[in-house]
Chains A and B, each alone.
Chain A
Amino acid sequence: GAVVSQHPSWVICKSGTSVKIECRSLDFQATTMFWYRQFPKQSLMLMATSNEGSKATYEQGVEKDKFLINHASLTLSTLTVTSAHPEDSSFYICSARRGLLERTSVWEQFFGPGTRLTVL
């Protein structure tokens, strides 16, 4: 259980086009999902928190008009990279929050496999 999928797993696009990445929780409902960006050999950088039925919360320095997030249902969040440029090329990972970890106030996160975006 607790599987998170992402689609597509990789995408190549031309500069100036928009790309949509889907994140789905397959066997549980996730009111909150997270979008991360991972540069080669670097850590995961949290981009935004996606809340079902409300606006996403973006981390400092992340352009909300550039990275559009929609969380229309309890099992789906989408990240759209608008007017993509080569510097947007990266590995994008989503995670879904399921429930509180036992004896903590922290929610357990399950990660998707990631989407490799290459902008030419």
Chain B
Amino acid sequence: AQRVTQPEKLLSVFKGAPVELKCNYSYSGSPELFWYVQYSRQRLQLLLRHISRESIKGFTADLNKGETSFHLKKPFAQEEDSAMYYCALGTVNKFYFGSGTKLNVKP
């Protein structure tokens, strides 16, 4: 079975503080992992994917197969980062989404 777990429903940090949104997965095959972001009243959009090993808007995420994790990190949070963040596991046929973490960056 495939499953994505995001243990934190809400994460509140102050502007400039580091942030880490946790994601753990279970999958029997080779995982393709993604982070999606949903800003207030906007559609879901792709933030980054593990295969690209890129940094988008200052966010990075490293796939740790040993710990089956794909945590999203940013060293200095900004107020505009406040949004819902979803970790997703992509397979050939479908995507599986975690329950989401609401990030609230306080001024």
Contact = CB atoms under 8 A, between A and B. Distances in A.
Interface of A: 4, 34, 41-44, 46, 49, 93, 95, 101-109, 111-114
Interface string B26-59: 0000001000000000111110010110000000
Interface residues of B, number: 23
Given A105-B32, A106-B90, A113-B43, 17 more contacts: A4-B43, A42-B99, A42-B100, A43-B98, A43-B100, A44-B97, A46-B96, A49-B93, A49-B94, A101-B49, A101-B51, A101-B90, A102-B51, A102-B52, A104-B49, A104-B51, A111-B45
Contacts of A46: 94-96
5 contacts: A44-B86, A104-B49, A107-B92, A111-B43, A111-B44
Q: Choose among B45, B90, B98 the residue with the greatest number of A CB atoms under 10 Å from its CB.
A: B90
Contact of A113 (B9, B42, B92): B42
Given A43-B100, A114-B43, A104 B32 contact: yes
Contacts of A112: 43
A63 B100 CA distance: 25
B56 to A, nearest CB: 15
A109 B91 CA distance: 12
Contacts of A107: 90, 92
A106 B32 contact: yes
A105 to B, nearest CB: 5
Contacts of A43: 86, 97-100
A114 to B, nearest CB: 7
